[in-house]
Amino acid sequence: MIEVSQLTKYYGDYAAIRDVTFQVGRQQIVGFLGPNGAGKSTTMRILAGFLTASSGKAIVAGHDVLTDPLAARASIGYMPENCPLYPEMRVAEYLDFRAGLKGMHGADGRKRVEAAMERCWLSDVRRQLICTLSKGYRQRVGLADTLLAEPPVLILDEPTSGLDPTQIIETRKLIRQLGERHTVLVSSHILSEVEMTCDRAVIIVGGQVAAQGKLAEMVPAGGRLEEFFLRLVEGNTAQTVHA
C-alpha cells in the first residue's frame, strides 16, 4: 500500500533524507522511528503530498504522489503532530466542515462525523470550542478528522502526544483496531508504544533508513527495541536489518 524508493529531499545543499526506501503492506501497522531531525516528518509530509521530493518515488495505494497527487491524497488520512485546527469552531462543527471538504454531505456526512467522534471519544465535547480543549483532546479531533473518509492508508505523526495514560491505552487499542481495515504508518518517540502497537518498524537515522523489518526479528528474544534503537543512533550497528 505504501512503496517508497530512493526518496531524497534537499533543502539547498542539505539533504533532509537520502535514498529512503521501504514498503508497507496492506493492513500492516508499521512504526516509523528515528531521533529528532532524522527525516521522519519530511518523509511523512512527502507521502501526504505536503512536500515535493527532490528525487525518488513514492506510491500510495497505487497512486504516485508526484504524478497523481489528488488520487494519492484521497487515499490518505494524515494526522500531523501539531494538528492545524480552527480554534474558534466547535468540535462537531469543525468535523462537519472537514467532512464537507472531503465530499461527504447531508446524512452521510453527519453519519461519518458521529462515527468518528464516537471512535475518538469526542461525543462529550462535541459542542465545545476547540480553543478550550486540552492538547490531548485536540489530538483526538485531529485523529477523528483522518478517519472521516475511511481512507485505506493512515499516516499518524505522534498520535499519543499530549494524552494521559488512560487515553494512551485507548489510542493504542484504536490503532490496533484500525489495522484491521487500514494500512497504518505511525511515528512515535515512545518506543514501548511501538512495541505494543506495531508489527514492523522502519528506523531512520541521519536521513537514511538504518533498519527495517518485523519487530520480532529485528530485536532478539528477551531484548528491547529501545536498546536496539540506541545502538543504531549511536552508530554501533552498521548493517541494515531487513525482515
The domain limits of the chain are 1-75+153-173+181-243, 82-150
Model pLDDT, residue 242: 52
d(CA 105, CA 97): 9
Model pLDDT, residue 221: 66
Question: 97 exposed, middle or buried (CB, 10 Å; 0-12, 13-18, 19+)?
Answer: middle
Model pLDDT, residue 172: 86
Which residues of the chain are under the pLDDT cut of 70?
A: 221-222, 236-243
Model pLDDT, residue 100: 94
d(CA 90, CA 211): 42
- Indicate the CATH number for domain 1-75+153-173+181-243: 3.40.50.300
**Cell 492545524 identifies what position?**
84
Q: What residues contact 186, with CB distance under 8 A and at least 6 apart?
A: 29, 30, 31, 32, 154, 155, 156, 159, 175, 194, 197, 198
d(CA 1, CA 23): 8
Kindly report the number of other CB atoms within 10 A of residue 64's CB atom: 14
Model pLDDT, residue 222: 67
Model pLDDT, residue 152: 94
Q: Is the dihedral of CA 242, 32, 186, 162 positive or negative?
A: positive
d(CA 209, CA 162): 27
pTM: 0.87
Residue type, 15: A
| Residue 131 DSSP code | G
Q: Tens digits of per-residue pLDDT, 61-97?
A: 999 999 999 999 999 999 988 888 999 999 999 999 9
